[in-house]
Amino acid sequence: MKRFIQTLKNIYKIEELRKRIGYTLGLILIYRFGSYVTIPGVDPQQLMALKNQSSSGLLGLLNMFSGGAFSNASIFALGIMPYISASIVIQLLGMAIPYFQKLQKEGESGRKKINQFTRYLTVIITALQAPGYIANLISQLPAQAITPFDPNVTSPGVFFWVSSVVVLVSGTMFVMWLGEKITDKGLGNGISLIIMVGIMARLPFALFSEFLARMEQKGGGLVLFVVEIVVLILVVLLCILLVQGTRKIPVQYAKRVVGNKQYGGVRQYIPLKVNAAGVMPIIFAQAIMFLPLTIAGFASSDSLRGFAATFTNINGFWYNFTYALLIVVFTYFYTAITVNPNQMAEDMKKNNGFIPGVKPGKKTADFIDSVMSKITFPGSLFLALVAIMPALVRLAGVSSQFAQFYGGTSLLILVGVVLDTLQQIESHLLMRHYEGLTKSGRIKGRNAGAY
């Protein structure tokens, strides 16, 4: 505790860090305030049906990522997810289209163009999603909950639809702007911080409701609640292992003399991450698992409907088995396209570096590829386990709302963003010769150890 208090004092002494933390908290406060501002024309007192609909399933996940803005019919109802979808599309285009590959290699100017394309695509995706959200809003709420702007009109008209779409698109773009400002002038990782805040905003409500539900039970209700918390802590530790786990490969740099100076002759280590793919395999697998819902909507035969029903039961064996298998496959796929052993081997060769006992060039690339394959397998299994953990705890009796915090993208995002933020603060402290947040002075985030 004494060390923690001293660390807070050190943080306060650094003016730049103090301003960045204050700026970040201020923008997050604006975001949280906006999540309670309802769309004009919607009665906030009659949103119970929408809140019940978004308490579980896919809509529950979207509501958690938006910090409850989805169920509040807020101007930020669609949250930052359209921007995340646009970023994923642009990233995939960068792997397939030469023009985007060229932009990625152009440095700062290319990054600005890619960001501009991402913004345009975000507007398009949000504009496509907004009418669907409004249609669902109208179907879920009673007629008196949506007040037309014209008192002579008894139902939502064109003006309500158009204005609501504009508000939702503007809300998403404003949230994106907040994230970019946090990245530029705050603690960094603005988009990730906004998602994390949205997830954490739902945690106290889910925790309290689960506690009340357990206390109403007779015979060990409190004991079961404590067991749930212990399991949650264990899953958090597993997520930390996934985020920080690395396998270090020694690299020896040969001695070379330039003029009167000697370079090289030292040994360093390349840390290869156990989970180099992050949460992307889970996102891709979820997208595939949503296909049975589409099949169910167009299915005409009983066999197809039965197939769709089997693979839309999020607590069922075949759904979770297929989901976990897809995550393992996508982990290998995403790792293969993000980690380039040939490039790493070429960079080492250019810098007179080599792995002891391995010939430079193709042999080094094959060795790195072999190591990555070996460490990716347990990493993919751990990732699959974390992803299906909510289904496992739901089967054990945990409520759907609280079960969402036991794994999937939500817990991995929480752990990763917290570690990244602590790493930012740690770097500011160490740069000014203050003690870090840990005795070792090292906190590894999601990007730590990148080659």
- Residue 307 sits in the same domain as residue 172: no
- Residue 233 sits in the same domain as residue 156: no
- Residue 275 sits in the same domain as residue 348: yes
Q: Which residues contact 93 (CB under 8 A, 6 or more apart)?
A: 100
Q: State phi, psi for 149 to the nearest 5 degrees.
A: -70, -30
Q: Is residue 5 part of a domain?
A: no
Q: How confident is the model at residue 167 (pLDDT cuts 50, 70, 90)?
A: very high
**Per-residue pLDDT for 304 more than 60?**
no
Q: Is residue 236 part of a domain?
A: yes
**By residue range, what is the domain housing residue 279?**
224-256+263-451
DSSP single-letter state for residue 445: -
Within 197-352, strands assigned E span: 246-253, 256-258, 261-263, 267-273
- Residue 386 sits in the same domain as residue 449: yes
pTM of this structure: 0.74
Report how many domains make up the chain. Answer: 2
User: Quick one: pLDDT at residue 451?
Assistant: 27
**Per-residue pLDDT for 166 more than 70?**
yes
Q: For the domain that residue 105 is a member of, what is the CATH number?
A: 1.10.3370.10
The model's pLDDT over 209-243, given as tens digits with 9 standing for 90+, comes to: 888 888 877 656 788 888 888 888 888 888 888 87
- Residue 153 sits in the same domain as residue 107: yes
- Residue 180 sits in the same domain as residue 283: no
**Per-residue pLDDT for 444 more than 70?**
no
Mean pLDDT value of segment 381-404:
84
Question: Rg of the chain's alpha carbons, rounded to an integer?
Answer: 25
More confident residue, 56 or 249: 249
The model's pLDDT over 259-297, given as tens digits with 9 standing for 90+, comes to: 556 555 667 788 888 888 777 787 777 767 766 655 555
- Residue 305 sits in the same domain as residue 440: yes
Q: Which residues contact 108 (CB under 8 A, 6 or more apart)?
A: none
More confident residue, 75 or 146: 75
The model's pLDDT over 113-139, given as tens digits with 9 standing for 90+, comes to: 888 998 999 999 899 888 888 888 888
Mean pLDDT of the chain, nearest integer: 79
User: Quick one: pLDDT at residue 124?
Assistant: 92
What percentage of the chain reaches a pLDDT higher than 70? 81
- Residue 300 sits in the same domain as residue 172: no
- Residue 151 sits in the same domain as residue 73: yes
Residue 38's beta-bridge partner residues?
A: 74
Round to whole Å and give the CA distance between 298 and 316: 22
Round to whole Å and give the CA distance between 229 and 226: 5
Round to whole Å and give the CA distance between 64 and 390: 14
The model's pLDDT over 404-429, given as tens digits with 9 standing for 90+, comes to: 788 767 777 788 788 878 877 877 77
**What is the torsion angle, in degrees rounded to the nearest 10, for the CA atoms of residue 220, residue 224, residue 226 and residue 231?**
160
- Residue 193 sits in the same domain as residue 328: no
- Residue 179 sits in the same domain as residue 250: no
